[in-house]
Amino acid sequence: MAPSSSSAASTFLQKPQTSPLARRSSSALLLRPRPRHNLVPLCRRQAVQELPAVDAAAGRTDCFGVFCTTYDLRADEETKSWKKLVNVAVSGAAGMISNHLLFKLASGEVFGPDQPIALKLLGSERSFQALEGVAMELEDSLYPLLREVSIGIDPYEVFQDVEWALLIGAKPRGPGMERADLLDINGQIFAQQGKALNAVASRNVKVLVVGNPCNTNALICLKNAPDIPAENFHALTRLDENRAKCQLALKAGVFYDKISNMTIWGNHSTTQVPDFLNARIDGKPAKEVIRDTKWLEEEFTKTIQKRGGVLIQKWGRSSAASTAVSIVDAIRSLVTPTPEGDWFSSGVYTNGNPYGIAEDIVFSMPCRSKGDGDYELVKDVKIDEFLWERIKKSEDELLAEKRCVAHLTGEVRLQ
């Protein structure tokens, strides 16, 4: 829990009407005095806006509705063998992605059918009623594995003891916007959430950043959480991997379960590099199955790079269901052993990487896991000139983004 300040009381906001369904702390909406930022480098169009930081000391996040009833996992032990409860925080919990994701988490499809789960839902003051609505739907779904649900707007409370933090909440990209436009706006959210994780989460929490620009948000988050291992932070590029698998399958005329070894290199942006050189189709190198090199280099690469933007044009909003599915895939890749010879893509912290990619950024690379929540980099993937040239562009973009958020990663101290 963050330090308390009774003098902060004068800055508190009025709390909204509380639904009788939600037993939450009456002081859940109290605000922490804002830090002062004098010198803020502007990298894109938006000026940095200060977020109202929430007063951690002021209240508690309480259980929701039926999840406040007591239960005893041991009572079921004659018929079931339960694992220890896993605590999962989800930010942006009232949003579209979460609306798909939470029900998958509660169903057991992510952590397994013998894994009871506690969901800790983080929303904003504005979304609080919607958050209650989500919690009500979770109640009504009667999931046997869902043992606790709590809702709140203070990351210092919601992240208490969490073992997984799925950071989805951020201002989404609208039509015509680049992900980098969101740097200033969203970076501050992730700085605050990094601090909160550092203060109250499990020391081995695994953090998956989804809110865009997710690589740099993950970097901001990990820099603000110095007591949590940097390798525990991921930026979601699994959606890009899934999109790439689908397009290769379509071109090769096979079902997409035949595609393996699909790496996305770099940033989750239009500079990302879907690696057709190392991808395999039914065990064979993709280039042996798809002989059309021009298609691979041009159309395939562009389609994956721009898929998110095209979806925004079609929907008028960001992808939600497929993003939720890819979050499930990303978690499952860490909690189940990677099949022999295969790998998955994740945006991870570069710290002694074998590919000569700049250190101290979050870069998508091929990873493997033993299923224990950790991963190791796949070290012997070949990179040709075509790939390398593009990997460098994505690296340049991430280094530029990093410079833009130096005030949030602690590299530039503000007066």
Query: What does the block give as tokens for 404?
Result: 């833009």
Closer residue to ligand LMR, CB minimum distance, 179 or 206 = 179
The verdict on 318 binding ligand LMR (CB under 6 A) reads: yes
Cβ atoms 4, 58 nearer than 8 A:
yes
Kindly state the smallest distance separating residue 190's Cβ from ligand LMR, in Å: 15
The verdict on 5 binding ligand LMR (CB under 6 A) reads: no
d(CA 381, CA 344): 12
Cβ atoms 221, 193 nearer than 8 A:
yes
Report whether the peptide linkage leading into residue 33 is cis, meaning its omega lies within 30 degrees of zero. Answer: no
The verdict on 212 binding ligand LMR (CB under 6 A) reads: yes
Choose the binding region for ligand LMR from 129-137, 251-259, 291-299, 308-316 (rule: CB under 6 A): 308-316
The verdict on 319 binding ligand LMR (CB under 6 A) reads: yes
- Residue 78 CB contacts under 8 Å (≥ 6 apart), including other chains: none
Kindly state the smallest distance separating residue 229's Cβ from ligand LMR, in Å: 26
Q: How many residues bind ligand LMR (CB under 6 A)?
A: 9
Kindly state the smallest distance separating residue 177's Cβ from ligand LMR, in Å: 8
117 backbone dihedrals φ, ψ, rounded to 5°: -135, 145
Per CB under 6 A, the list member of 239, 259, 377, 381 interacting with ligand LMR is: 239
Choose the binding region for ligand LMR from 29-37, 41-49, 100-108, 307-315 (rule: CB under 6 A): 307-315
The verdict on 247 binding ligand LMR (CB under 6 A) reads: no
The residues assigned a catalytic role are 268
d(CA 218, CA 211): 9
Query: What does the block give as tokens for 203?
Result: 């020391």
Site for ligand LMR in 176-195 (CB under 6 A): 179
Edge to edge, the sheet with strand 164-167 lists 146-152, 117-122, 86-91, 164-167, 206-209, 233-235, 344-349, 362-368, 376-377
Choose the binding region for ligand LMR from 23-31, 36-44, 192-200, 306-314 (rule: CB under 6 A): 306-314
Other Cβ atoms within 10 Å of 147 Cβ, number: 18
d(CA 203, CA 183): 27
* Contacts to ligand LMR by CB under 6 A: 173, 179, 212, 239, 308-309, 311, 318-319
